[in-house]
Amino acid sequence: MALTGAISTFAFAPYSFTLLPVLTIAILCYAACCSSRWQHAAWLGFSWGLGYFAAGLNWVHIPIEQFGGLPLLLSLALLLLLSAYLALYPLLFALLAFRLKAHSMLPLYLAAAWMLLEALRSWFLTGFPWLSPGYSQTDSILRHWAPLIGETGLTFILVLSAAALMQLLSRRQFWPAALAVLLWLSAPLASHWHGWQATGETLDVALVQGNIKQELRWDPALEVSTMRLYLELTQPHLGTPLIIWPEAAIPRVEILAEPYLFELDAILAEHGSSLITGIIEYNFYTEEAWNSLITLGKRRQSDAGGHYQPRHSNRFEKHHLLPIGEFVPFEDLLRPLAPIFDLPMSSFSRGSFVQHNLLANDHKLLPAICFEIAFPRQLAANFQQDTGLLLTVSNDAWFGDSIGPHQHLQIARMRALEFGRPLLRATNNGITATIAADGRIQQQLPQFEAGVLTDQMQLTTGQTPYSRYRDWPLWLCSLVLLLLAGWQSQRIPA
């Protein structure tokens, strides 16, 4: 079963065998339902999950080994430990499949169970919603459902389809398969109700990819050369209304970088440009630090000059911090144990869950820094009717030439689909890309090269059903289905 779970990795970017989850989850369902004891079903679910997450998250060990100072075997052991925790969710799913196997509505019950378990996984211990099956559908026919029911809804359809396939082959039960086929074939019709429209306006953008090696990003001797590099890459594109630099592009804390920021602010305003850049905000009095985005240059087109001031309100502070990488639980206990618990910039304070959109040259952008793009509920809480674009900045240099950055880009594409807004993704070393409101990649830069991506974004307006109602309708339906399953189970012997 571990091999079956591991094969599921090929459903996601960069491989994108989009039908694969239907087959691999069907095998999990069949194995759990055919188990003679609940202990066997639980082990099968755990084995499937261990293979699924260990293979799909194999890139996690790279920063642990290369930058955390741990040997390869120990870094792989930590990867297996994380995978073992995440495998508890398929374990619970397999137990439910074993318990509910006699029900005629089993496919609906299993889809509801998986969806609620994914909701728990995205919240518990600050949440780690990576590799949710729905992300594999950014290029499949199911993508048309995303503006209505989100990635979680696509996951529901995938699990329903997998369980329906299992019921069709093992029990000759046809109605679940017919329902699944109907959902797949009717997906293009859903695009008529996606809720957003093109405004007819366009926006020229420039996304700068500095390609600074991870081991050099926080070297104090290289701060000036890094800031000079970003300015040199940007200068040919001054006059572009919106310029984006990636996460922590400026390697000097904001209060120490103020002379550079004031000069850059004036240059941008003189050319009619606005810049959004990542920077570390630090308070020397409270010794708190925030992973932030700030805006420089024109806030509004009618402004006579730049608007930057220290601690101005036109900024964003990251809310969803990455465990170990950006905050260390029980840090007094863990930090002395190994270098992995004492990485540079691993003690950030958390920004508010709800914050203002960034305003740049009269355009409102809804930002997310790195890992945050995997949390659609945070974006939904900050989405406004006049939000013009989605923005995510990242530094995937931690993960080398692995599948991690490709999965990260795929998650960003799903957010564009769900919210019906064009999305800008600026990264340190790739994959920097512009994404249309329908989730299609317009342009992208090669990885591991310094460069600037220029593009013209088609702006949109309106609200998708998902941005308005989020996951609540499907959560309620799933909860009702599981309550019904529980009630029926009282009448059917195990």
What letter does residue 327 receive in the DSSP assignment? B
Active site residue 298: no
Q: Taking the CB of residue 169, how many other CB atoms lie within 10 A of it?
A: 12
Q: Which of 217, 220, 215 is closest to 230 using CA atoms?
A: 217
**Residue 118 and residue 377 in contact, taking contact as beta carbons nearer than 8 Å:** no
134-to-19, 130, 146 alpha-carbon distances in Å: 11, 10, 9
Instruction: Give the span between the Cα atoms of 341 and 325, in whole angstroms.
Output: 8
To which residue do tokens 């960034």 refer?
Answer: 358
Active site residue 318: yes
Rg (CA), the chain: 23
**Residue 368 and residue 378 in contact, taking contact as beta carbons nearer than 8 Å:** yes
**Residue 459 and residue 202 in contact, taking contact as beta carbons nearer than 8 Å:** yes
Among 29, 118, 317, 318, the active-site one is 318
Instruction: Give the span between the Cα atoms of 354 and 316, in whole angstroms.
Output: 10
3-state class (DSSP) for residue 173: coil
The whole-angstrom distance between residue 84's C-alpha and the CA centroid of its chain comes to 21
Instruction: Give the span between the Cα atoms of 425 and 440, in whole angstroms.
Output: 13
Q: Taking the CB of residue 201, how many other CB atoms lie within 10 A of it?
A: 12
**Residue 426 and residue 454 in contact, taking contact as beta carbons nearer than 8 Å:** no
Element (H, E) at 435: strand 433-435
Cβ-Cβ contacts under 8 Å for 176 (sequence gap 6 or more): 106, 107, 108, 160, 163, 164, 167, 168
Active site residue 370: yes
To which residue do tokens 């309100």 refer?
Answer: 313
First to last CA, the chain: 24
Q: Which of 327, 410, 372, 374 is closest to 135 using CA atoms?
A: 410
Among 254, 370, 372, 418, the active-site one is 370
> The tokens of 143 are what?
């993508």
Instruction: Give the span between the Cα atoms of 51 and 13, in whole angstroms.
Output: 17
Instruction: Give the span between the Cα atoms of 28 and 367, in whole angstroms.
Output: 37
Q: Which of 151, 205, 238, 229 is closest to 425 using CA atoms?
A: 205
Q: Where are the alpha helices (DSSP H) in 283-439?
A: 331-334, 376-382, 404-419
Among 151, 247, 372, 418, the active-site one is 247
Residues marked as catalytic? 247, 318, 370
